[in-house]
Copies of this chain bind each other. A is one copy, B any other.
Amino acid sequence: MSEYTSHNRNGQTIGIVKKQFFSFAAPPDRLKLESGADIGPVTIAYETCGSLNQDKTNVILVLHALSGDSHVAGYYDPKDAKPGWWDIMVGPGKGIDTDRYFVICSNIIGSCAGSTGPSSINPETGREYGTDFPFITVGDMVETQKALINHLGIKSLLSVIGGSVGGMQALEWCTRFPDMVKSVIPLATTTRHSALAIAFNEVARQAIMADPNWNKGHYYSGKKPDMGLAIARMIGHITYLSDESMRLKFGRKLQNRSALSFEFGAEFQVESYLQYQGNKFIERFDANSFLYITKAADYFDLAGQYGSGSLVKAFSKCKAKFLIVSYTSDWLYPTYQSKEMVKAMKKNNLDVSFCEIDSQWGHDAFLLPSDRLDNLIKGFLRGVPN
């Protein structure tokens, strides 16, 4: 287990974590994927916070979204500028209280932050997989997480929690391994992408593949498709915000100028912000990983896979207790999609709490500080018998 010691820096309680790695499916035991392809060996990068109790019953699996990683909370080093991506929620005394729970977060397969993905070396060629990487699904992500959980000797998960694509994984977990999951908290997510969500992902992928540097996915020894990836991120970023949040944040404010300058640059603040987001993203993310993970999200269809089209049937083997959270201004996975899953769960007499949080911050609201969400999660988790 990794260290997770509370430290005080500038009056803040922080945790020092370290990234760990678990490798499996070494030849000849390749991992069979849902597409029919197989792959091996597979490495999963993961981090843990808090202490595992003796009977290993206080485990919470936190699942990250499209561009996240295993660094969910705490700092690698006290000098780090920023803590993990959900440090507001995960830590001592926080919504997911690491004084009580042992939190595991692993980087998804297909990603680029330590787990095997298209930018990893293909042992068969000695070069990066690129688009020779097999297609992956949300089910495949969960299978690799299950291998990690087995490796850690854990038999049961007190809770599986994730937002957006992380929420899809949470829903997949309780459907695929119903006996292992005691509770699930899917946030700002859906049981399947709407045509609108697929459309945005497809245009973002087209932007990457139109970049001549993409080179059909084999760009690791040359220039990277940075322009394409930046545009893809800008498209994604718009869908994570909302009309209202963008109006409040930017409106029609100009960037460092008092009047229009009539040029094809960033005249409006919102343009400058998007370009900044795009340029920041290319420093930390791999374009092929973006392609593969968005495809996996588009493929995800719980009713299609587990219920022959019926969501009620898909949840019929679930045993977990649920807390479903949606946000009023999330137009990527609108509340009606959460209500659909709540309805299907209730038809299976499952124990479901549903909360639509009033927020102007769009899809990304689940990543922002919120006493409401902290209290909801804290209260819900205390009600899960371990």
Contact = CB atoms under 8 A, between A and B. Distances in A.
B291 A264 contact: yes
B252 A203 contact: no
B193 A206 contact: no
A227 B227 CA distance: 13
Contact of A249 (B195, B238, B264, B270): B195
Nearest to A253: B195
A231 B207 contact: yes
Contacts of A230: 206
A78 interface: no
The 10 closest A-B pairs by CB, nearest first: A195-B246, A135-B262, A210-B227, A195-B250, A195-B270, A202-B271, A35-B262, A203-B234, A196-B243, A199-B238
A228 B210 contact: yes
Interface residues of A, number: 57
Interface stretch (A41-49, A295-303, A352-360): A295-303
A212 interface: yes
Nearest to A197: B243
Interface string A112-125: 00000000000000
Interface in A168-215: 192-196, 198-200, 202-203, 205-207, 209-212
B246 A199 contact: yes
Interface of A: 35, 37, 131, 134-135, 192-196, 198-200, 202-203, 205-207, 209-212, 227-228, 230-231, 234-235, 238, 241-243, 246-247, 249-252, 260, 262-264, 266, 268, 270-271, 274-275, 278, 291, 295, 298-299, 301, 304, 331, 334
Contacts of A198: 252, 268, 270-271
A210 B274 CA distance: 15
Given A194-B243, A243-B196, A246-B195, A210 B209 contact: no
Contacts of A206: 230-231, 234, 275, 278
Contacts of A266: 202
> Which of A234, A251, A275, A301 has the most CB atoms of chain B within a 10 A radius of its CB?
A234
A274 B202 contact: yes
Nearest to A295: B264
20 contacts: A37-B262, A131-B264, A194-B251, A195-B243, A195-B246, A195-B249, A195-B251, A196-B238, A196-B243, A198-B270, A199-B234, A199-B270, A202-B271, A203-B231, A203-B274, A206-B230, A206-B231, A210-B211, A262-B295, A264-B291
A43 B266 CA distance: 30
